[in-house]
Structure formats: C-alpha cells, structure tokens
Copies of this chain bind each other. A is one copy, B any other.
Amino acid sequence: MSADTDNPQGSCALSLSFVDEHTAARLAEIFKALSDPTRVRLIAALCAGERCVHELAEQLEMSQSAISHQLRTLRQLRLVRSHKEGRHVYYALDDDHVLTLFAQGMDHVQHI
C-alpha cells in the first residue's frame, strides 16, 4: 500500500495536509478557545444574540469575575467582540464563522 497516493478523504484533503507550524499553532489557538465548558456555554449563549457580562454571569450561574476572565480569552482570539453602552459591556459573536464552527462541533458530538 502506497501511503503517498492513498487519499480516501476526498479532493480537499491534499491542501489540508500541508499545514505549516505557524498555521497549526493558530488553528490550535482557535480550538483552544472552545476547549473549555464555560467558554462553550458562553458561545452558545451568545448564539441567541448579544449579552452583557452580568447577564451571562446570571445565566451560567458563575461569578462575574470568572465570566469576565473567560470573555477576555474569547475576545483576544477574536471569537467575540464587545462594545460599551454606559456601564454595560455587550458581547456578541465576532462573525458567523464562529457560529458555523460551533455548530459543526455540535454536529460531531451528536454524531458519535
């Protein structure tokens, strides 16, 4: 069996198999953002629309500080964006890409 020509996964597989270390690191970073249950629940909550920090803290029944720390992680990785309205800081999914990625993960979980 020749491993080099063996390609059971389809035509797009070839380009995916050439992932340089930098890209691999960035990919890992994105997935790492979603590798924590709290952050998963935050993303899920934001699928329904934007929310401010204390709303998210209530919904997840966690301290405001903990939520803020996690939102910071999500913010740094551009998975969410925020804007201020008075005292409140509203968070929302950065774009539909995040939702698609998240939904794909859900698919996988439900598929197993």
Binding site for B on A (CB under 8 A): 3-4, 6-10, 12-14, 16-19, 21, 23-41, 44-51, 55, 78, 92-93, 95-109, 111-112
Contact = CB atoms under 8 A, between A and B. Distances in A.
Contact of A106 (B10, B27, B48): B27
A92 B13 CA distance: 12
Contacts of A19: 40-41, 44, 106
Given A13-B99, A28-B34, A31-B33, 9 more contacts: A3-B49, A16-B44, A23-B106, A23-B109, A24-B41, A26-B109, A32-B35, A95-B111, A97-B111
The 3 A-B residue pairs with the shortest CB-CB distance, nearest first, are A32-B35, A6-B49, A17-B48
**Looking at chain A's contact residues, is the secondary structure mostly helix, strand, loop, or mixed?**
helix
A16 B98 contact: no
Contact of A24 (B44, B51, B78): B44
A82 to B, nearest CB: 15
